[in-house]
Amino acid sequence: MKDDGQPVLLFEQVSKWYGPVIGLNQVTLELRRGITGLVGANGSGKSTLLRLATGQLKPTLGRVTVRGVDAWEWRAKALVGYCPDNDAFYEDMPGREFVAAMARLCGFEKAEALRRTEAVLERVGMADRADRKIGGYSKGMRQRIKLAQALLNDPQMLVLDEPLSGIDPIGRQEMLELFRGLAAEGKCLLVSSHELEELEKLTDHVAILTRGRIAAVGTVTQIRDMLDDQPLSVRIDVHDPRRLATLLVNRLEVVGVELEPKVLANGTHESLIVRARNPRRFFEDFGKLVVSEELDVARLEPLDDTAHAVLGYLLGGSGKT
């Protein structure tokens, strides 16, 4: 897929009001190829953002474009695939018929619609089960059918709202593989999910939404680095933790040093927990320190640079979404 330097999805100072309630507040967002996770608490504006991105809503202010075309236009929608959260289908319709109907809705001739239907059903692993009525499908099968209809138009951008919900662990792995494959083809995937652990397996590039605003966009590490007011906690397993604590405590980046509460049988501490600002500089300095002081470091483990922790800091809570 060509990349002409133009972003696939572009939000320019977008606001969306529902009467007196603001759903999205001056959001600017630029997405290119690859997978981006969209995270945020309930009511943070995720659904509004996804609906604006898929052209289902018009922004009150600002502009949303897909490859330079207004997202509201049908030409832009032709570049987008959307897998919604809800799975309210025509229960009496077989899955294959539903996907074929959606293909016709995309504007494809009958033969082409049938060809694409078979291709996408094969790709999501539903080809052999698609003749059953949707009413008899499990949650996971419904997810696959939803994904199939989103892939029909070979979209440049795929918007997935809770795509892993209800899928068993093996199915999840298959779905994650499928998403990675689509990203490898050069597609732009915007994945909204409350399941941060699964999302982290898929991508480390996230957009965090809170109260209708984009709080941060980037890799989890980049976002974590920017959180100066929330020092990074690092656990260091070292032969002599007390000596290391003495060496670290004078460093500018280090704001706290704590000996691990767990005490070994011989009375010594096993490890040290360091809280440091500006993690990148800290790790550079720490590397030099280890070499110069010939420290015997067994393990180095950042404790709060996961998406969950980052989200917790940004949302000011537990990070639960």
Partner 1 sequence: MSRPAPSPHLLRYRTLNTARRGPWFGSVAIARSSLQLLAGRKMFWTLYIFSLLIFLLYFFGQYLQVFLEQRVSESLVRTGGVFGRTIRPDFFVNMLRDTLRMNGTADTYGDFMWTEGYIVMVLLAFAGSAIVGNDFRFNSLPFYLSKPIGRRHYLVGKALAIAVLVNAMTTIPGLCLYVEYGFIDTWEYYKNSTRLLFGILAYGAALTITLTLLLLVTATWLRRTVPLIMVWTAAFVMSRLVQRWLVDGLGLSPRWRLLDIWNDMYLFGQWCFGTNHLLLRPGNQIQPEYREATAVIVVVCLVCVWYLSRRVRAVEVVQ
| Beta-carbon contacts of residue 139 (< 8 Å; ≥ 6 apart) | 87, 165, 166, 167
Binding characters for partner 1, 50-79, by CB under 8 A (x = yes) = -x--xxxxx-------------x-xx-xxx
What is the spatial distance between Cα 248 and Cα 189, in angstroms, rounded to a whole number?
A: 42
Q: Which is nearer to partner 1, 16 or 275 (CB)?
A: 16
Which of these ranges, 151-159, 227-235, 247-255, 267-275, lies near partner 1 under the rule CB under 8 A?
A: 151-159
Among 120, 157, 238, 310, binds partner 1 (CB under 8 A): 120
Radius of gyration in angstroms for the set of CA atoms belonging to the chain, rounded to a whole number:
24
- How buried is residue 21: exposed, middle or buried, by Cβ count under 10 Å (0-12/13-18/19+)? exposed
State which of residues 44, 117, 143, 149 lies at the interface with partner 1 (CB under 8 A).
149
Name which of residues 87 to 106 contact partner 1 (CB under 8 A).
88-90, 92-93, 97, 101-102, 104-106
CA–CA separation, 66 vs 234, rounded Å?
A: 41
DSSP 3-64: --S--SEEEEEEEEEETTEEEEEEEEEEE-SEEEEEEE-TTSSHHHHHHHHTTSS--SEEEE
Q: Which of 171, 218, 302, 312 binds partner 1 (CB under 8 A)?
A: 171
Residues that bind partner 1 (CB under 8 A): 18, 23, 47-48, 51, 54-58, 72, 74-75, 77-82, 84, 86, 88-90, 92-93, 97, 101-102, 104-109, 112, 116, 119-120, 122-123, 125, 149-151, 153-154, 159, 170-171, 174, 177-178, 181-182, 184-185
